[in-house]
Amino acid sequence: MLPMERAPEPAESAVEEPASQEPVLEAIAQRERELRQSLIEARDALLRRDEEIDRLQSELGARVHGSEASSEVTGFEDRPTLEKKVKRLASELDARDRRLREQRMRIRRMQRSVPMRVRARVAALPGVRWIAARREKKFKRAVEAAHEPGTQK
C-alpha cells in the first residue's frame, strides 16, 4: 500500500482579502493618472511645436516672397527649385505686362477715334450734362436702396 498523500492546502497568498488589495489598486490607479497626465502634456507639447513650425514656415515664406501674408511656402525648398519658381513668375509677370500695354494702347486708340471724340463733345453740352447728372443721381439712389436692410432684389 502506498503511503497516504495529503491533499494540498489552499495557498493563503493566492486568496488575499479585499482589504489587502486596496493599496495595490490605489497604486495602480495613481500610476494610471500619472501616465494619463504625461500623455496629455506630451500631446500639448507636440501641438505647440507644430504651431511653432507653422509660424516659422510662414515667416520664411514672407522672407522668400517679400510679403508678410505669404502662406505659399509649406516646407523648405532647395535653391534650384526656388530659382525655377522665380523664373516662372518673372515670365508670367512679363506676359501680364505685355497684355496690359496692349490693352492700354487699344483703349487710347478707341478714345482717339472719331466716334469717341464726337461722344465726348456731345457729353460736354449743357443739356446732356444735366441728363447725365440726373441719371447718375437716380442710379446712386437705386444702389443705396438695394443696400438698405429691408429691401430684397
Domain ranges of the chain: 21-76, 77-112, 114-153
Report d(CA 43, CA 49) in Å as an integer: 10
What pLDDT, on a 0 to 100 scale, did the predictor assign at position 135?
93
How many C-beta atoms surround the C-beta of residue 78 within 10 A? 7
Residue 102 pLDDT exceeds 90: yes
Percent of the chain clearing pLDDT 70 (strictly above): 78
Of the pLDDT bands very low, low, confident and very high (cuts 50, 70, 90), residue 68 is very low
Whole-angstrom distance, CA of residue 48 vs CA of residue 147 = 44
76 grid coordinates: 523648405
